[in-house]
Amino acid sequence: MFRRLFVSALVPLVAMSVLAGTGEASAAPAWSPCQEGKPGECATVQVPVDWSNPKGEKLNVAIGRLRATEPEHRIGVLFVAPGGPGGSGIDLFVLGTNKLTTGELRKRFDVVTWDQRGVGRSNEVKCSAEVLSRRPGDFPANEQQYRNLLAYNAELGADCRKHTGPLFDHLDTGNVVRDLDAVRGALGEQKISLFGSSYGSQVAQQYAESFPARLRAVTIGSNLDHSITSAGHYVATATADLEGSFNAFADWCARTANCPLHGQDVHARWDALHARAEAGALTDPDNGQALSAEGLRGELLGAMFTPSSSWYAFATRLRSLAAGTKTGPAATSGTTATEELGGNSYQAIWCEDWKWRVGGYRELRALRDQAAALAPHTKLSPFWNDIATCLGWPAQVSNPQHRLSISNAPKILIMTSSADVGAPHAWNVAVSQQIGNSVLLTYDGVGHGQYTLSSCARANVDRYLIDLVPPAPGTHCAAEYPTAPPAAAQRSLI
């Protein structure tokens, strides 16, 4: 079970700060421009590689900051936990353009984020490109393929440990939470506001468990439910929201006159393509290669994350696959590796947080069959791999699943979508039930990341984080689906 961490209060007006729970001093960050011509500042904060041995080897965690644009109205620091795991907070929230850092919150907060340990600028997990290239892509078809999968995971893990170093065995979210509090201390902030979506929600949840007194306000969206211990439940809920998202897409196409599949039976079109893919008879017209059922479901999954930017293109893609016509320039048949090492942060972090008990191939296949019975069109979420990639992985699961136990934290605003392929609705409801002092806001549409998807959700989050006024319990925001393709895609749909 997760061990609750306690630290004493930090005095903010000092040049040196105490690392959370270590008694050691950390110098205040030395900020410099992240990139020429960009407004963001970057720095590093030194933390222990192994928090149980604070005097041992150290790691420099890269952090980034955008200062409040209205400093006279500055409230404080808003920490943004990036998704993934494996997403670079600096790339997305400091160097990139997004709704969170271009709206009201940026006026009132210094937005601070980081590349968490094992990611990007913070000693990214590295593995041999040759070993990574042999990663199995399809669901194992028999016992031998299942055993091959476990052997591959063990081989890859050993290779990643070799090329990453001691940090490889200290990547779990518990360590990330302690890093976050060390950054808070180094900045001299007694309290922070915290925003986390997708995997970032798990970081925020566990920070609220460990350091509730350090929080002014917390918003978490598209939540992971780290209490799930059943692999079957994990796959079933992920697949149910893939099915629900596809059904919503089909309904949207039926009522949207300029959808490329308008007037057609979208379910029947998909079912026919999926059956051809399962039979090995579906060819991708863009590259002339066979498109597997796994590949087709992967395209569906990707299209369901952000409808506004992908649904028109996905409808065009399905139309083209059925007709055998190209949707764009010819794709290359493959690329020649130019780097000896590749990144593998997602798997390495994930598999230190989740312990799955799967007895063998028959049990894994049963999970697939149960999911298919729930989802007659989409069959199986590609996120079955969240379980399969950890089977045989050599690192210890040092932050295993547990029910949240949060007390003495401020009100926590939880956001969910009616269907979310990356963080199913059922997970968010479960998280809200585990956090007593919370309010659940539901976006009645499809997609991942409600702050991006919904102007209504955005307004509620801004009001809460700025004025500490949460939405009323049971608040719903209407779905916002596209009525025209993104400008860059309009020409390809003519």
What pLDDT digit, counting tens, does each position of 313-330 carry?
A: 999 999 999 999 988 765
Q: Which residues contact 69 (CB under 8 A, 6 or more apart)?
A: 106, 107
Residue 489 placed within a domain = no
Domains: count for the chain: 2
Task: Mark whether 204 and 320 lie in a shared domain.
Answer: no
Task: Mark whether 408 and 424 lie in a shared domain.
Answer: yes
Share of the chain residues as helix, strand and coil, in percent rounded to the nearest 5: 40, 15, 40
Residue 253 placed within a domain = yes
Residue 96 placed within a domain = yes
Backbone angles phi, psi at 292, to 5 degrees: -80, 165
Q: Which of 361, 376, 398 is the last residue of a domain?
A: 398
Residue 258 placed within a domain = yes
Q: Which of 398, 418, 449 is the last residue of a domain?
A: 398
Q: Which of 350, 378, 398 is the last residue of a domain?
A: 398
Task: Mark whether 115 and 188 lie in a shared domain.
Answer: yes
Task: Mark whether 419 and 447 lie in a shared domain.
Answer: yes
Return the axis-axis angle of helices 307-323 and 231-255, rounded to nearest 10°. 80
Biggest alpha carbon–alpha carbon distance for the chain? 67
Closest CA to 237 of 377, 113, 371: 371
Residue 36 placed within a domain = yes
Beta bridge partners of 127: 342
pLDDT of residue 38: 87
Residue 12 placed within a domain = no
Residue 38 placed within a domain = yes
Task: Mark whether 35 and 153 lie in a shared domain.
Answer: no
Q: Give the span between the Cα atoms of 375 and 381, in whole angstroms.
A: 9
pLDDT of residue 329: 61
Burial of residue 176 (CB within 10 Å: 0-12, 13-18, 19+) is buried
What are all long-range contacts of 383-387, with beta carbons under 8 Å and residues at least 24 apart? 383/234, 383/235, 383/238, 383/301, 383/421, 383/422, 384/139, 384/235, 384/238, 386/234, 386/350, 386/354, 387/231, 387/234, 387/235, 387/354, 387/356, 387/358
Walking along the chain (494 residues) 10 residues at a time, the average pLDDT comes out as: 25 38 67 92 98 95 97 97 96 94 95 98 98 95 96 98 98 98 97 98 98 98 98 98 98 98 98 98 96 97 97 98 82 57 97 96 97 98 97 98 97 98 98 97 98 98 98 97 78 36
Residue range(s) defining the domain that contains residue 187: 17-124+170-228+400-478
Task: Mark whether 260 and 186 lie in a shared domain.
Answer: no
Residue 279 placed within a domain = yes
Q: Give the span between the Cα atoms of 319 and 313, in whole angstroms.
A: 10
Task: Mark whether 154 and 249 lie in a shared domain.
Answer: yes
Pairing of strands 126-128, 341-343: antiparallel
Q: Give the domain CATH number at 446.
A: 3.40.50.1820
Supply the pTM of this predicted model.
Answer: 0.92
Task: Mark whether 148 and 245 lie in a shared domain.
Answer: yes
Closest CA to 20 of 200, 201, 177: 177
- Provide DSSP, 228-264: ---HHHHHHHHHHHHHHHHHHHHHHHHH-TTSTTTTS
Task: Mark whether 109 and 140 lie in a shared domain.
Answer: no
Task: Mark whether 235 and 222 lie in a shared domain.
Answer: no
Task: Mark whether 320 and 449 lie in a shared domain.
Answer: no
Task: Mark whether 186 and 61 lie in a shared domain.
Answer: yes
pLDDT digits (tens, 9 = 90+) for 85-126: 999 999 999 999 899 999 999 999 999 999 999 999 999 999
